[in-house]
Amino acid sequence: MDRIEGMGIRGLLRCGLAVSAVALPLPAFGGEASEGAVKFAFYSASWQENTRDLLRVVAFNPLDSPVRIESIDFVDIEAPGGSLELSLQLDVPAGGYAELEMGYVDLLGQGECIGETLAGDWRLVEISNYTLNPSVRNLIIENTESFRIYQCVQTVETRITEAATGASSVIREWVLYHFESLAER
């Protein structure tokens, strides 16, 4: 994991990893994002190529005690029996990273924003609970001569347990679908 910490976001994306994220407040259990909270991202090479590659989850815990991400429920994605809930059981050490590979799960859902974005020849880079600019959603956030970045939002409920106390909470938050596209010349 030391190698992951020193790679930076560009290096992580080149290697198929992404560790961007937003905070899950364990002490507050109130569901509002805060700085010192668990961050996570999903990535799959199958989003760039027509393959059935695995789904990878990478998480970072800046807190002083270990936590377990029990599950993440994509409440906006319909599945048999309700929404699409991923059981992760991912132990994340205090101040450290953890990752998990699991069988491919279709997280693209039925959202209008996601469907229209994919139809517009954008490619999904990652799904995470963090963005560098949280005030920008469903907007093109970078438009250069070489590429553009676009984000869509879905709601999730993240179940997390603090290892030291066993305290558990469900945090309702957004995840951002980060897309990019080569700009036409």
> Cα angle vertex 90, ends 152, 47, to 5°?
35
Secondary structure letter of residue 130 according to DSSP: -
Q: Which residue has the tokens 């609970």?
A: 129
Amino acid at 106: D
**Per-residue confidence in pLDDT tens, the chain, 185 aa:** 343 344 333 333 333 333 333 333 333 333 344 444 789 999 888 887 777 789 999 999 988 999 999 999 999 888 787 889 999 999 999 999 999 999 988 888 767 888 888 888 788 888 999 864 444 444 455 555 555 677 888 899 999 999 999 999 998 998 988 888 765 54
* Domain locations in the chain as residue ranges: 2-182
Dihedral sign from CA coordinates of 118, 84, 12, 138: positive
Residue 45 confidence (pLDDT): 84
With a CB cutoff of 8 Å and minimum separation 6, the contacts of 169 are 26, 29, 31, 159, 160
